[in-house]
Amino acid sequence: MSRFFVNEENIQPDLIKITDKDDLKHLSKVLRHRIGDVVEISDNNEWEYKIELTEINADYAAGKILGKTAFEREPELKVTLYQGIPKQAKMELIIQKTVELGVTTVIPVFTENTVVLDKGNFDRKIERWQKIADEAVKQCRRGRIPEIENSMKFSQATKHMKENDLNIFCYEDEKKTTLKQVLRQIPRGKIKKLGLIIGPEGGFSEGECVMAAEAGAVSASLGKTVLRVETASVASLAMVMYELELD
């Protein structure tokens, strides 16, 4: 079933309007919905609805509310991915797949080994990545749209990590502790906000490892093999969700 997100002011006691131009085009031209079709609506905050379309025009689509429930597919665990910025289209894949897996926030991080440069137009990349997150969350029918925050340097990211209950520093040279061991030591439900730190293609520098440790992040290995950055991000989040979110 198709899902759309609307602002709370578009929700009336018995009627909901879809006014976003891109959503209207997708609803009518791509999905070819017609009067009488049933679609899902999220307020991006707490509630999701089923509506039966009663009107579709150039300015809005409207539907009568058939049902209202609290979010059913939104993870309770809030995960922030601190992603070392990779080359080319890898970031788009990372965002798409981690959104499907349940990430709450993605923060692009400039590290010492980041090859990509900010030439003054990085805001466009953020806008593009946010659109990818928007599209992915509709496909997997989550309740909230994950936020792609503005990029920051690694030193800034370590300060941001203080907002989390636990931060896990995924490091290929960690020899003693695996991510599995870290996650198995966490009592179920104790951690509400978790930070996941993934490096770019070149990994982390020694100085960044020190900064992460000083910030209280727990270093963990993802296994015996060295993973590509896009694989590491998806695999580590999948492990986190399996262990801490799934019943």
Domain boundary among 48, 70, 92: 70
pLDDT average, residue stretch 151-159: 96
Query: What pLDDT is stored for residue 1 in this prediction?
Result: 83
**Percentage of residues in the chain with pLDDT exceeding 90?**
85
| SS3 labels along 180-208 | HHHHHCCCCCCCCEEEEEECCCCCCCHHH
Residue 173 confidence (pLDDT) above 80 = yes
Strands 105-110 and 147-148: parallel
Give the model confidence (pLDDT) of 19-73 as tens digits.
999 999 999 999 999 999 999 999 999 999 999 999 999 999 999 999 999 998 8
**Percent of residues, the chain, with pLDDT higher than 70:** 100
Last residue of some domain: 19, 54, 70?
70
| Last residue within a domain, chosen from 21, 44, 70 | 70
Number of domain units in the chain: 2
Q: Which pLDDT score is estimated for 185?
A: 93
CB 78 within 8 A of CB 195: no
> With bands split at pLDDT 50, 70 and 90, how would you rate the model's confidence at 126?
very high
Residues 127 and 42 in one domain: no
Q: What letter would DSSP give residue 78?
A: E
Domain holding 220, by residue range, is: 78-244
- 152 and 49: one domain? no
- At residue 238 the predicted structure's pLDDT band, cuts being 50, 70 and 90, is very high
* β pairing state of 15-18 and 152-153: unpaired
Q: Is the Cβ–Cβ distance between 104 and 165 less than 8 Å?
A: no
- pLDDT at site 121: 78
The residues near 186 (Cβ < 8 Å, ≥ 6 apart) are 166, 243, 244
The CATH number for 56's domain is 2.40.240.20
Of the chain, the end-to-end C-alpha distance in Å amounts to 25
pLDDT value at residue 11: 97
Residue with tokens 């058939």, as numbered in its chain:
66
pLDDT at 136: 94
60-116 pLDDT per residue, tens? 999 999 999 999 889 999 999 999 999 878 999 999 999 999 999 999 999 999 988
Domain holding 130: CATH number? Answer: 3.40.1280.10
* Predicted local confidence at residue 222, as pLDDT: 95
pLDDT for residue 119: 67
My answer on whether 129 and 186 are in the same domain is: yes
